[in-house]
Chain A
Amino acid sequence: MIPRTLRRQTPRTGVDWFLTVLRVAALTVVALGLLAFIAQEIDRDNPFARWANPDATGLTGEQFWGLIVSGVSQGAMYGLIALGYSMVYGVLGFINFAHGEVFMVGAMTGMIASNKLADAGMWESNFVGSLVLIVVVSVIVCSLTAVIMERVAYRPLRGQPRLIPLITSIGVSFFIQNASIVLLGPAAKAYPDVPDWVKTKHTFLQIEGSKILVILVAAASMACLWYVVERTKSGRAMRAVAEDAEIAELMGIDVNRTIVKVFALGGAMAGMAGILWGILFRSVIHSTGFLPGIKAFSAAVVGGIGHLGGAMTGGLTIGVAESVGPLVILEPLGVSGVSQLRDAVAFAVLIGVLLLRPSGIFGERLPAEDRT
């Protein structure tokens, strides 16, 4: 940490000034959009509400709540995927870009298993039991996929510059996508229909059953992961390897086995997220993992890469921002086609957080030698 007195003495460069202007501009746009939206909600004929967008109509409370719930459930899935990115980065220091494809494998496995169960009649007669079963199958398949990926593609590159496994992970990502096309075909695959209580809104907080399920399962998964990492011997080993692999090895920790466990745990979280995706959207395709994977990676960075709570917080931040941002900030400012800008909003959040807090929400400020 640089002492405050020293920081004051550091001369500000042109880049510093530029970044300051950028930060102020970004905050101003967000503040203006929010104020215009609030003005709309108070009175639709308010001149400030129609200052930039004369056609602005605002949202009802129920519609706004719907956006929040949608964003939270989507963000919970991003968070679950982001945990895998964050954990692998924590122990190996590189970004496993193929992790999004592990998530897709989970969703595909769930689709195959659920359709088999539907054919056998169990999906309709015992939905909860079937759900537990497909979660178990998906978690096992995804953990195995992640472990095989580590053994085949990343372990041989251990000790190489970080760029090399990073590029390899992009190759692995393409390989898994194409393998899915070859094995299952290029068309979208549907999950079987879910019971009515999953589809309909419940009087409790006016949320659909599927979204309640997603939020609860994501919270439970996060709690389990936290317990494993913070309270078990294996978790302690993971933290030790993340801190310093060489010293951890000298202390008697089997580093290879620990890294395998990290990949397996990350894969399990991705498998869980895959099933939740299937329940929420009931459709999966070979490219399903790409965009959520990129957004989950962004979530891990927003939360502070390497920090488990940060990954979930980042996921929720991006999920809610991309759901609410277009209608609450951009539309009142008169931006057209706002619904097509949700991806742009998600990545704008990433840029915005990095501008204001380069190490992420929960990230620690790294010393210069680690940053390089």
Chain B
Amino acid sequence: MDKSAYPHNPRQKRRLLAIAIALLAAFSLLATSCGNDDDAPEATEAPQATEEPTAPEPTEPMDDPRGDALGDGSLGIVEVEEGDAIQIRSLQAITGDVAFFGLPIDRAAYLAVDDYGPVNGFDVDLGTSLDDLCGNDGGQAAAQIVVADEDVIGVLGTSCSGAAVAAAPLITDAGMVMISGGNTSPALTSDLAGTAGPNHVRGYYRTAHNDLYQGAAMAKFVFGELGFSTAAAIHDGDPYTQGLAQAFADSFEAEGGTITGFSAVNKDDTDMVPVLTEIAAGAPQALFFPIFQPAGDFIADQAPGVSGLEDTVLLAADGVLNDNYLALPQTTGMYFSGPDQRFGQNVNQSTGRSADELTAAYEERHGEVPSSAFWAHGYDAATILLDAIAAASWVEDGSLMIDRQGVRDYLYALRDYRGIIGTLNCDDFGDCGSSKITVVQNIGGEENVQDSLNNVVFSYEP
């Protein structure tokens, strides 16, 4: 080491010592002033929308403006100033092949916010819709945009379970809630027997059904109604498709049937002959492929041409239950499982609007009928979120204070809520949806799509 770097002159030493003491003093002052800012904000300072990391200080009961608002403040309080709007977001699959599924959920959310009106006198702002791209990456990217805005209370979405797997941890870690009208994978909630799914997080809820119900419905239909004892399943690796295919396989075996093949394709595969040949080796009587388009198109098209599958009955699920797929000639005669779409005169208790009124309003606003039945799940998801915000908020000095924990408390305690989809009850894992599942058979032809959707051949309710 170079000793010349050290001062030998006593004057130099004193000067260095003085500089060190001055720096120390400056740092001390700075630290003190920062501490003061945190602990005691100036009384005249304009209130900001902030999250409190800890429970608020107890106040005099006589002056408590909270009233009976839910929550203990443990996840923070969001303040919405007078004239501002309550921020929530919609995160759905609004582009690409799955837009037929996500767009109606997204549009129904806007419809619900308009129907609901102000919450405790404050308008609600959904902002600009975000796209989950029906995948992990899209969900993560959109969730990062959402959590960057600390004023957001809740997110309506995602459409696809694959996107929720990435988005839910980010959104709920930020104290927000997430209510999906489209996710059905058991991994996101529970196995319905008290065990949390591998991707379950607190603060996540859904109005869509758990696919364990849908898998059971299809298995009972194939085994009991069609009288088949052998079946096979194909998925594409997505949590939704894999979870549903597995739920079907497990239920079918529980019924007494035999699963002769369980395989997977890549989402962008076009030549399905190899996977269908693999499945054909087991000579199944039924083939269940709960996947999306366009892969679903190719399986329906190519299966009858594969030796061993000529007479196999083809079955799919709500991922392809749309006008476009039902109009394809190769899907005529196929069976589809999905949520019970016979909403009829069901009325949403928060807005008082019936399913028929809402369908007409949707058509008037967008010039088309909803392309998927999940619009109703999206509508109910939005109204229970707004109810939850109403139950966990209070007005204080002209501002609306929203307790994030209170929003969660309301949703976990939700019972006998009358929605468009039926009666909603939330369990401890966030499953709130009605579990009525139907199986419909495609009559065939573009002109018969609506009749096909109403052509219910089997109903299931646990």
Give A residues with C-beta under 8 Å from B: 57-60, 62-63, 66-67, 70, 74, 186-188, 190, 193, 199-201, 208, 281-283, 285, 287, 291, 322-324, 326-327, 331, 337-340, 342-343
- B270 sits at the interface (CB 8 A): yes
- B263 sits at the interface (CB 8 A): yes
Known: A190-B297, A339-B263. Is A66-B306 also a contact (CB below 8 A)? Answer: yes
Segment of B70-78, B84-92, B278-286, B346-354 engaged in the interface with chain A: B278-286
> What is the CA–CA distance of A331 and B328 in the complex, to the nearest angstrom?
33
Set of chain B residues within 8 Å of A281, measured between Cβ atoms: 270-271, 298, 301
Q: How far is the CB of B203 from chain A (nearest CB, A)?
A: 32
User: Do residues A339 and B268 form an inter-chain contact, with CB atoms below 8 A?
Assistant: no
Closest 8 CB pairs of A and B: A339-B275, A70-B273, A62-B307, A188-B294, A57-B281, A63-B277, A193-B329, A281-B270
- B56 sits at the interface (CB 8 A): no
Q: Give the A-B pair count, Cβ closer than 8 A.
A: 88
Q: How far is the CB of A87 from chain B (nearest CB, A)?
A: 25
> What is the CA–CA distance of A200 and B297 in the complex, to the nearest angstrom?
17
User: Do residues B297 and A67 form an inter-chain contact, with CB atoms below 8 A?
Assistant: no
A–B Cβ pairs within 8 angstroms, 17 of them:
A59-B281, A63-B307, A66-B273, A67-B277, A186-B95, A186-B96, A187-B99, A281-B298, A283-B298, A285-B97, A285-B294, A287-B268, A326-B274, A327-B277, A338-B278, A340-B265, A342-B274
User: Do residues A188 and B293 form an inter-chain contact, with CB atoms below 8 A?
Assistant: yes
> What is the CA–CA distance of A323 and B273 in the complex, to the nearest angstrom?
8
> What is the CA–CA distance of A340 and B291 in the complex, to the nearest angstrom?
14
Chain B residue with the shortest CB-CB distance to A343? B266
Q: How far is the CB of A315 from chain B (nearest CB, A)?
A: 14
User: Do residues A67 and B97 form an inter-chain contact, with CB atoms below 8 A?
Assistant: no
Set of chain B residues within 8 Å of A187, measured between Cβ atoms: 96-97, 99
Please tell me the size bucket of the interface on B: 20 to 34
Known: A186-B95, A337-B264. Is A63-B328 also a contact (CB below 8 A)? Answer: no
Interface secondary structure of B, over-half rule: loop
Known: A282-B301, A323-B273, A339-B278. Is A63-B308 also a contact (CB below 8 A)? Answer: yes
Set of chain A residues within 8 Å of B264, measured between Cβ atoms: 337, 339-340
User: Do residues A339 and B265 form an inter-chain contact, with CB atoms below 8 A?
Assistant: yes
Known: A70-B274, A188-B97, A323-B274. 13 other contacts (CB 8 A): A62-B308, A66-B273, A186-B99, A190-B297, A281-B271, A282-B301, A283-B297, A331-B278, A338-B278, A339-B263, A340-B265, A342-B266, A342-B274
User: Do residues B263 and A337 form an inter-chain contact, with CB atoms below 8 A?
Assistant: yes
> What is the CA–CA distance of A281 and B300 in the complex, to the nearest angstrom?
11
> What is the CA–CA distance of A329 and B38 in the complex, to the nearest angstrom?
67
Set of chain A residues within 8 Å of B281, measured between Cβ atoms: 57-59, 63
User: Do residues B278 and A60 form an inter-chain contact, with CB atoms below 8 A?
Assistant: no
User: Do residues B307 and A190 form an inter-chain contact, with CB atoms below 8 A?
Assistant: no
> What is the CA–CA distance of A201 and B309 in the complex, to the nearest angstrom?
13
